[in-house]
């Protein structure tokens, strides 16, 4: 029996989805989403052409699983960062994830997968966002304020990640700093914006 045929019969039912996702993730990061098809996946994973369809009935379900896996990894990394370094650490982790996994990040947020159609993906993506909202909740006296602050913080870190991924930040702006240091320095400035309303209100009170 050939090596490829031995591999095709070596997977147990329980570990096949994980095997396929690992292979799909590698194709995604190395060649981009356009290179990812179920046919190519079976070839790379060394399984029969029918095998993936037991777990991923079509290409979009495979992409949804990859995106969900990405959100789960991002959420876990942000929880660890929140415990170690607070909100700033969460922001740095978000941008760092995007730079380390650019194709996965684009899949998660690029609109290729319709999140509303995939319950598991929708739930894990919501949990990732709720982690940021929860970290900000203690800083706001009202729930809506915390929600608005979390959207503002998300917009900041997501926009910074996109700018860096697309090469929109000039080297001159980075002033010789590494990407990690540049991200840290940029996110550090958010404290001034957060403090501005309070300082403005205090100034008004003092002048009254």
In the chain, DSSP finds a helix count (H) and a strand count (E) of 10, 0
**Domain at 89, CATH number:** 1.10.357.10
Q: How far apart are CA 77 and CA 128, in angstroms?
A: 10
Look up residue 28 and give its two tokens: 């995604």
Q: How far apart are CA 81 and CA 94, in angstroms?
A: 10
Residues of the chain with pLDDT under 50: 1-11, 13, 192-208
**Quick check: is 73 in a domain?**
yes
Q: DSSP labels for 129-161?
A: HHHHHHHHHTT-SSHHHHHHHHHHHHHHHHHHH
Identify whether residues 9 and 84 lie together within a single domain: no
Q: How far apart are CA 64 and CA 43, in angstroms?
A: 20
Identify whether residues 145 and 84 lie together within a single domain: yes
Q: How far apart are CA 51 and CA 54, in angstroms?
A: 6
Q: Which of 44, 64, 61, 165 is nearest to 124 (CA)?
A: 64
Identify whether residues 41 and 74 lie together within a single domain: no
Look up residue 113 and give its two tokens: 């997968």
Identify whether residues 71 and 157 lie together within a single domain: yes
**Quick check: is 140 in a domain?**
yes
Identify whether residues 71 and 24 lie together within a single domain: no
Identify whether residues 28 and 112 lie together within a single domain: no
pLDDT, residue 14, reads 55
**Domain at 23, CATH number:** 1.10.10
Q: How far apart are CA 69 and CA 124, in angstroms?
A: 8
pLDDT, residue 72, reads 96
Range of the domain at 71: 59-201
**Quick check: is 65 in a domain?**
yes
Identify whether residues 81 and 38 lie together within a single domain: no
**Quick check: is 208 in a domain?**
no
- The pLDDT mean for the chain works out to 83
Three-class DSSP labels, 9-73: CCCCHHHHHHHHHHHHHHHHHHHCHHHCCHHHHHHHHCCCCCHHHHCCCCHHHHHHHHHHHHHHH
pLDDT, residue 201, reads 38
Say how many domains are in the chain.
2
Please identify which residue in the block is written with the tokens 């730079």: 99
pLDDT, residue 28, reads 96
Tell me if 163 sits within 8 A of 169, measured CB to CB.
Answer: yes
Identify whether residues 33 and 92 lie together within a single domain: no
pLDDT, residue 51, reads 87
pLDDT, residue 137, reads 66
**Quick check: is 64 in a domain?**
yes
Identify whether residues 95 and 146 lie together within a single domain: yes
Identify whether residues 88 and 118 lie together within a single domain: yes
Identify whether residues 73 and 123 lie together within a single domain: yes
Identify whether residues 158 and 90 lie together within a single domain: yes
pLDDT, residue 141, reads 61
Q: Which of 153, 150, 37, 29 is nearest to 98 (CA)?
A: 29
**Quick check: is 206 in a domain?**
no
pTM, 2 dp: 0.81
**Quick check: is 142 in a domain?**
yes
């Amino acid at each position: 029996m050939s090596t490829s045929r031995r591999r095709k019969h070596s997977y147990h039912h329980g570990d096949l989805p994980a095997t396929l996702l690992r292979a799909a993730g590698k194709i995604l990061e190395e060649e981009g989403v356009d290179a990812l098809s179920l046919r190519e996946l079976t070839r790379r994973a060394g399984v029969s052409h029918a095998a993936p369809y037991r777990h991923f009935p079509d290409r979009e379900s495979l992409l949804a699983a990859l995106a969900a896996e990405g959100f789960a990894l991002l959420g876990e990394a942000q929880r660890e960062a929140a415990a170690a370094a607070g909100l700033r650490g969460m922001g740095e982790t978000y941008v760092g994830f995007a730079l380390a996994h650019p194709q996965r990040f684009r899949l998660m947020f690029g609109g290729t997968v319709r999140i509303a159609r995939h319950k598991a993906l929708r739930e894990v993506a919501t949990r990732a966002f709720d982690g940021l909202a929860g970290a900000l909740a203690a800083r706001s006296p009202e729930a809506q304020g915390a929600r608005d602050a979390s959207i503002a913080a998300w917009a900041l870190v997501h926009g910074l990640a996109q700018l860096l991924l697309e090469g929109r930040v000039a080297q001159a702006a980075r002033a010789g700093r590494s990407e990690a240091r540049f991200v840290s320095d940029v996110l550090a400035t958010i404290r001034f914006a957060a403090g501005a309303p309070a300082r403005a209100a205090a100034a008004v009170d003092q002048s009254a």
